[in-house]
Amino acid sequence: MKNLNKLAILIPCHNEEKGIGSVIDDIPRRILKKLGYSLEIVVINNSSTDKTALIAQKRGVKVITEDRKGKGYAIKKAFESLSFDTKFVVMIDGDNTYKSKEIPRLIEPLMSGFCDVVIGSRLGGKIRKDSLKFKNRVANWGYTFLVRQFYGANVTDVLSGFFAWKKEVIDKLNPHLKANGFDIEMEMITKMVKLGYEVYSMPITYDMREGDSKLSAFKDGISILYTFFKNLTWKPERKIRLKWIFGLGERYETQ
């Protein structure tokens, strides 16, 4: 029996009882197995007060809890939970706006070595009627234009909740993540580019969400814009080993 590449599917959720069942059920397990993947499905229960965790548990998937409310907290908790033998990682929202059936399309460019990170693009893909408000679409166009111009990122949707990564990208990125809310996607994309990873977009389907939106257009919009500007001058800290002048020992400095 051939060895399977371990794929972790992360689903951050805050009160997503209406959508989480469909997201889990629609994961194409047989197709992914045929493509050579073993699966670990992880629901991150982010301070939910509804039946999100119960619905997920009944489907036999792993459920972890992050009591601090905020998508950034949930994603960082999920990254910390990844097992050492994970090779690829997918993140998909729990409201059923993104389609789990399209996961194989996002991970193929990673498997083939085309790039290190794939972002599911709504703006470059298929947006179902009434699923993305006009003002949100315009805002996303604006943020995406800024990231393309100032960071040189070849992406078409910087606010997507559908990602795929090689595991080594997560290992390098996670210690640098600071965002706690919906600005986490902007932080991840801008810092991945700064870290030198190849990031590209893949057209996906975006549908009407099941349940209420948690996004505050004004408050979260300001946070996203702030993160964009803050990371323009960001550089990853590097540990530099310096030998003492007389060879009596070593010390480390952060640059």
Q: Which amino acid is at 52?
A: T
| Beta strands per DSSP E along 99-225 | 117-127, 162-166, 199-206
Q: How many CB atoms lie within 10 A of CB 77?
A: 20
Query: What dihedral angle (degrees, nearest 10) is formed by the CA atoms of 180, 26, 106, 74?
Result: 10
For 139-158, letters b (16+ CB in 10 Å) and e give: bbeebbebbeeebebebbbb
Q: pLDDT per residue over 118-165, tens digit each?
A: 999 999 999 998 878 888 889 999 999 999 999 999 999 999 999 999
Report the distance separating Cα 172 and Cα 195, nearest Å: 8
With beta carbons less than 8 A apart as the criterion, state whether 231 and 194 touch.
Answer: yes
Residue 79 exposure: Cα atoms within 13 Å on the Cβ side: 23
Q: 57-95 pLDDT, tens per residue? A: 999 999 999 999 999 999 999 999 999 999 999 999 999
Q: Which amino acid belongs to residue 235?
A: K
The 10s digit of each residue's pLDDT in 217-244 is: 667 789 999 999 999 999 987 654 444 4
Q: Which two tokens stand for residue 156?
A: 């078409």
**Predicted TM-score of the model (pTM):** 0.89
Fold (topology level) of 5-254: Spore Coat Polysaccharide Biosynthesis Protein SpsA; Chain A (3.90.550)
Are 166 and 116 in contact by the 8 Å Cβ rule? The answer is: yes
d(CA 74, CA 233) in angstroms, rounded, equals 26
Mean pLDDT, the chain, whole residue set? 90
Residue pair 126/206 in contact (Cβ under 8 Å)? The answer is yes
187-214 mean pLDDT? 89
Q: At which residue do the structure tokens 């990231």 appear?
A: 147
Work out whether the CA dihedral 180, 100, 160, 107 comes out positive or negative. Answer: positive
Burial 108-120 (b: 16+ CB within 10 A, else e): ebbbeeebbbbbb
Report in angstroms the alpha-carbon separations of 128 from 62, 121, 123.
30, 13, 11
Kindly state the DSSP code that residue 89 receives in the 8-state scheme.
Answer: E
- Please list the residues that pair with 38 across neighbouring strands: 6
Distance CA 41, CA 218 (A): 33
Regarding beta strands 239-243 and 117-127, do their DSSP bridges make them parallel or antiparallel, or are they unpaired?
unpaired
Backbone angles phi, psi at 160, to 5 degrees: -70, 150
Q: Is 237 exposed, middle or buried (0-12, 13-18, 19+ CB in 10 A)?
A: exposed
Instruction: For 175-187, write each residue's pLDDT tens digit.
Output: 999 999 989 999 9
